[in-house]
Amino acid sequence: MKKKVLSVLLAATMVASVLAGCGSAAQTAAPAAEPAAAEESAPAEDTAAADTAAADTAAADTADAAADTAAADTAAPAASGGGTYALVTKSAGNPFMERMASGFQEAVEASGGTVVIQNPEAATPDAQISVVQSLISQGVSSIAVDGNDANALTAVLTEAKDAGIKILTLDSDVAPDTRTVYCNQAGVSQIGQTLMEAVYDLTGGEGDWAILSATSQATNQNAWIDAMKSLMESDSKYAKLNLVEVAYGDDEPQKSTDQTQALLQNYPDLKVICAPTTVGIAAAAKVLQDQKSSVKLTGLGLPSEMAEYIGDDDAHSCPYMYLWNPIDLGRLAGYTSIALVDGSITGAAGDTFTAGELGSYTIEEIDGSTQIILGPPFKFDPSNIDEWKSVY
């Protein structure tokens, strides 16, 4: 035993000499210089090594578990509506857009998500492109767009899709291959038919009439106008109606006012103006009523803005109009965004999901593109306008 102890002491002395000569470099090499003669130390070293390995394994397991937990924590909110959901409206200061945005925000926040509402300063595709580029850099989960142009947003929306962001549209669509699904307020042909019937009724079935639209690139207004024109061409019922002009107010109150005044000046026999835009119809209603014009108005308007103009007598410019609930349209887009992000739907025709209090919806293929239809347009007239003007 003494010999063994001496051997150990001798080895330790040798190691100390080596360490003194090699300095810090020896600190790295030291584990390889352990003396083989230290027989009694060997079991302790093995135990220490085993303990170290076990500790390392335990640490690795703990790290893996922590990573798994972190991943689970990250994934869990997405499954329950978490994530960041963006809405890009047509422009700032549009009451319809403001109400639509409130519905979107309500639906997303009720589901545990974070909302980003972006209102471009102008109703132009360029303004929307800048907004979408900013949202891409923020890494949002989805972007719902009310398109100002059918094709101008193609490049930036494709870029967003390539970045893994879910893209959908509402109110006004874009090119179908750049988004997953379109939340449509009502079927195009249904709206066209409804508005055309109103024009026929208010003109008495004949005479001059005009359209006051939003922008010339607005896909929703253009689709409705095309549907109205098709009805005039295909149905002899409308043969005595003469569409004199499609004017564009660009969804700006002052420009819509100017366009209405120009229509009255340029077409003295004008009987009806149809404005399939909430900004346009409100501007036109004021012009017609202030000037005590005999020209009548119909189209799509907000009850809160149009209540003072709705009436079936000469003192009111708009006998009746139509719309859907913009708040519900926003809600539908919010719930659709969540369903796309959490994987409940893919955007394919036949997919079904529940949009909160709105109920169940099925994605349909309409005119070669996937759409979700909110519902038919609703008629507002003297019998119900007071009831609805405080709603939206």
Instruction: Please state the separation of Cα 195 from the chain's center in Å.
Output: 27
Domain with CATH 3.40.50.2300 in the chain: 80-185+327-377, 188-323
Average pLDDT over residues 236-245: 98
55 pLDDT tier (thresholds 50, 70, 90): very low
- The Cα 123–Cα 121 span in angstroms is 7
* Mean pLDDT of the chain, nearest integer: 84
Average pLDDT over residues 17-46: 34
Q: Kindly report, residue by residue over 296-336, the tens digit of the pLDDT.
A: 999 999 999 999 999 999 999 999 999 999 999 999 999 99
Q: Which residues pair with 372 in a beta bridge?
A: 183
Q: Nearest Cα to 146, choosing from 82, 211, 92, 226?
A: 92
Where residue 32 falls (left for φ over 0; alpha for ψ -120 to 50; beta otherwise) is: alpha
Q: Looking at residue 21, what is its pLDDT?
A: 37
Q: Kindly report, residue by residue over 241-250, the tens digit of the pLDDT.
A: 999 999 999 9
Contact 140, 115 (CB under 8 A): no
Alpha helix segments (H runs only) across the chain: 2-22, 25-29, 41-79, 95-110, 125-138, 154-162, 188-203, 219-234, 253-266, 278-290, 303-306, 326-342, 385-388
Largest CA distance in the chain: 127
Q: Looking at residue 15, what is its pLDDT?
A: 33
Q: Looking at residue 353, what is its pLDDT?
A: 98
The domain defined by 188-323 folds into Rossmann fold (3.40.50)
184 pLDDT tier (thresholds 50, 70, 90): very high
Average pLDDT over residues 187-216: 97
Average pLDDT over residues 54-74: 39
The domain defined by 80-185+327-377 folds into Rossmann fold (3.40.50)
Q: Looking at residue 114, what is its pLDDT?
A: 98
Q: Kindly report, residue by residue over 130-161, the tens digit of the pLDDT.
A: 999 999 999 999 999 999 999 999 999 999 99
378 pLDDT tier (thresholds 50, 70, 90): very high
Average pLDDT over residues 206-220: 97
